[in-house]
Amino acid sequence: MEFLEVLKKRRSIRKYINQEISKENIEKIIYAGTLSPSAHFREPWEVIVLKEKKKEIVHLMEKYADKLPNDQSILKTSYSIDNCDTLLLIYCNNFEQFQYNLLSIGAMIENMLLQATELGIGSLWIGNVCPVELQINSYLGIDSNTKKLVSAVALGYSNQEVKNLTRKGVSEIIEYID
Ligand SMILES: Cc1cc2nc3c(=O)[nH]c(=O)nc-3n(C[C@H](O)[C@H](O)[C@H](O)COP(=O)(O)O)c2cc1C
């Protein structure tokens, strides 16, 4: 696939068919993430790969949703996690210049989404796991003092048509200051 075609083809996929993603493809996707730039070359990312255990993440989101703002959005996202094949939890393990590390991880996630697209695998970038971070960490035995949950990525073969989005045009977002 041409580079621009991959960029255009990548869309948030929220419904998936019941088809397993191979370990080889999961690792290709994560490898693409490792090629991203990172501030001070800190590579501040860690990835936890969940298959069966993602069910507990769904359960935690359902359990705590009504105590949180954006509860409907959290519930909707939990359906996508339930439905997907593989859930990646993306952690930041470096607290120095945390904002820069977050940007580095954003770049890393986008690389993974683009690689998934090129492999014909649907993906969804998920922020909605963060409100239940402490519960997730306690379930997985992760020490919240050493790393921070930044996002999750759901992966699966698509079972949906995506609606067209009208994006901001280049002329709307640039200003030339000569
Ligand atoms: C940081 C971040 C967090 C996101 N969190 C969620 C989420 O929790 N649930 C969800 O359904 N979509 C989530 N999205 C996906 C956006 O809604 C989506 O990218 C946007 O609507 C544009 O659609 P597109 O990805 O198909 O281009 C997130 C995207 C980003 C960048």
Examine the pLDDT at 96 and tell me if it is beyond 90: yes
Q: Which two tokens stand for residue 128?
A: 């909605």
Ligand 1 pocket, mutate which of 10, 125, 150 (most atoms under 8 A from CB): 125
| CB of residue 127 inside a 6 A radius of ligand 1 | yes
| CB of residue 81 inside a 6 A radius of ligand 1 | no
pLDDT at 56 (0 to 100) = 98
Tell me the average pLDDT across 19-35.
98
| CB of residue 128 inside a 6 A radius of ligand 1 | yes
| CB of residue 106 inside a 6 A radius of ligand 1 | no
Ligand 1 atom at minimum distance from 76 CA = 11
Examine the pLDDT at 70 and tell me if it is beyond 90: no
pLDDT over 70 percentage in the chain: 100
| CB of residue 12 inside a 6 A radius of ligand 1 | yes
| CB of residue 77 inside a 6 A radius of ligand 1 | yes
**pTM beyond cutoff 0.85:** yes
| CB of residue 11 inside a 6 A radius of ligand 1 | yes
Distance in angstroms (rounded) separating the CA atoms of residues 141 and 63: 19
pLDDT tens digit sequence for 34-50: 999 999 999 999 999 99
Tell me the average pLDDT across 131-157.
98
* Sequence-distant (≥ 6) Cβ neighbours of residue 89 within 8 angstroms: 47, 48, 50, 57, 129, 136, 149, 152
Q: 84-98 burial, b if ≥16 CB within 10 A, otherwise e? A: bbbbbbbbbebeeee
Ligand 1 pocket, mutate which of 124, 150, 164 (most atoms under 8 A from CB): 124
Q: Could you tell me how many residues make up the chain?
A: 178
12-160 is a CATH 3.20.20.100 domain: no
Tell me the average pLDDT across 112-133.
98
pLDDT at 59 (0 to 100) = 97
pLDDT at 126 (0 to 100) = 98
